[in-house]
Amino acid sequence: MSNLCPLDYRYGREDMKAIFYEESRLQYQMDVEAALARAHASLGTITEEQAAEITRVASLDVVDINRVKEIEKDTRHDIMAMVRAMTEQCEGDAGKYVHYGATSNDIVDTAVALQIKAAIEIIQADVDRFTLTLASLAKRERDTLEIGRTHAQFAIPITFGFKIAGYVAEMLRHRERLQQAKPRACAGKMAGAVGTGAALGKNFFKIQETVMEDLGLAYEPAATQVVGRDRYTEVITLMANIATTLERYGTEVRNLQRSEIGEAQEPFDVKKQVGSSTMAQKRNPMMSENVCGLARVVRSMVTPTFESQVLWHERDLSNSSTERFVLPHVFVLLDEMFHKMNEVFSGLTVNKKNMLKNIESSRGLVMAEAIMMKMTEKGIGRQDAHEIVRSASMIAEDEERQLVDVLIENKDLVARMPEAEIRSAMDPANYTGGAKEIVDKMVAEVERVLGQKV
């Protein structure tokens, strides 16, 4: 049978996809059922032997997923199908206590919390790995001169390492956001049909606490029939935020790889890789473009997530189908994006010669601010200095001359600033401010936070 969804045959890494497979979903749900049985046993509601038997059958080695599907055809209810399939496999009277006191979404939401927990752990590892890659690149290119650009126009000099240091800072913020959001995102419930825990009796609170402690989850302190969907909204919007960050980096690589800029290039296997089916010379930034495209899909999942937050009364079913699409796609695609961006930046070609060439192509105009500020140090008023540089810049641009050559023709200026001093002030290497120190600080911060040498 042919595959339909691109996640099946084109995108996604196995470790992340495995969390959301149909079999995995069933196993997570049975894990919750087993934890519920153990909680009951710990409080004497059922025997230890009955809980052990329910735990034994809560396994794909015992419960056949095809049997669950067969039952679901009749029941049209996936959780009841699972419960009956588990009950069939129980020896003795343990089957009477499968799903005891629970409602379907106690199982579903708690299982989803386990999936989210496992998925976030992979994303956290992705963030750390990529942050180290960026920090290493920033350190390597700490002193590499590049022109800064604003409005897609030349601005003033920076270093390429400084640019990447900004990426490092952003990834560290995302790391912090993940740590903060994880406890809220990884919350289940064991509170019955409308959240009151009535079917669980006098031990309701203890059962819920025990189940979640067993599973390593937080719990919804005041649930309806479901865990509050604001939790899902927070984690999905965070994933979209991170995806957008990766798109920003991919967009920068695409721009720097443009033929007329040529300052950086993503990895390209010159022996085997094909850039175009007809233009054999092409080396296209295909991984970066792919990441930019996938980011749009991830962001598109934000709207249905917000809409699924609005449920009727204590709950309706409108969120269920939406979440079956949203959660796997967001996590699988973001993990894929990280894998590709890490490959791009760990193998990025940095063309230092072109970076210098682009700076030099401005004929010194990018140093206008630098010379203006130097003039103020010599006692020339800021506004007067601005006008001197502005007028000289217009002449240099119109006559296609070096700005420094126009400036040294100004006898009044040279009288206050020797030619050598003017030329030194207009050396791009002398006007990167604290760029290099910022790189050092960000590398040190990565080493502190991750506890690993860059």
Q: 200-211, pLDDT tens digit by residue?
A: 999 999 999 999
**How many CA atoms lie within 13 Å of 224's alpha carbon, on the beta-carbon side?**
13
Q: What is the mean pLDDT of the chain?
A: 95
The residues pairing with 442 across neighbouring beta strands, listed in sequence order, are none
- Domains 20-97 and 362-430 belong to one CATH topology: no
| DSSP codes, 341-390 | HHHHHHS-EE-HHHHHHHHHTTTTGGGHHHHHHHHHHTT--HHHHHHHHH
The residues pairing with 153 across neighbouring beta strands, listed in sequence order, are 150
- Looking at the domain covering 362-430, what would its CATH class be? mainly alpha
Q: Tell me what pLDDT residue 270 has.
A: 63
Q: Which residue has the tokens 């350190």?
A: 139
Residue closest to 301 by CA, chosen among 249, 242, 233? 233
- Residue of 276, 318, 361, 391 marked catalytic: 276
Active site residue 151: yes
Q: Does the pLDDT at position 229 exceed 80?
A: yes
- Residue of 2, 151, 259, 313 marked catalytic: 151
Domain boundaries, the chain: 20-97, 104-141+154-350, 362-430
Give mean pLDDT, residues 100-122. Answer: 97
The percentage of residues in the chain with a pLDDT greater than 70, rounded to a whole number, is 99
Dist. CA 409–CA 372, nearest whole Å: 16
Give mean pLDDT, residues 161-190. Answer: 98
Q: Does the pLDDT at position 274 exceed 80?
A: no
Q: 128-168, pLDDT tens digit by residue?
A: 999 999 999 999 999 999 999 999 999 999 999 999 999 99
Q: Tell me what pLDDT residue 277 has.
A: 66
Q: Tell me what pLDDT residue 278 has.
A: 73
Q: Does the pLDDT at position 272 exceed 90?
A: no
Q: Does the pLDDT at position 1 exceed 70?
A: no
Confidence of residue 256 (pLDDT cuts 50, 70, 90): very high
Q: Tell me what pLDDT residue 184 has.
A: 97
The CATH classification of domain 104-141+154-350, taken from the options 3.90.780.10, 1.20.200.10, 3.40.50.620, 3.20.20.70:
1.20.200.10
The CATH classification of domain 20-97, taken from the options 1.10.490.10, 1.10.275.10, 3.40.30.10, 3.30.750.24:
1.10.275.10
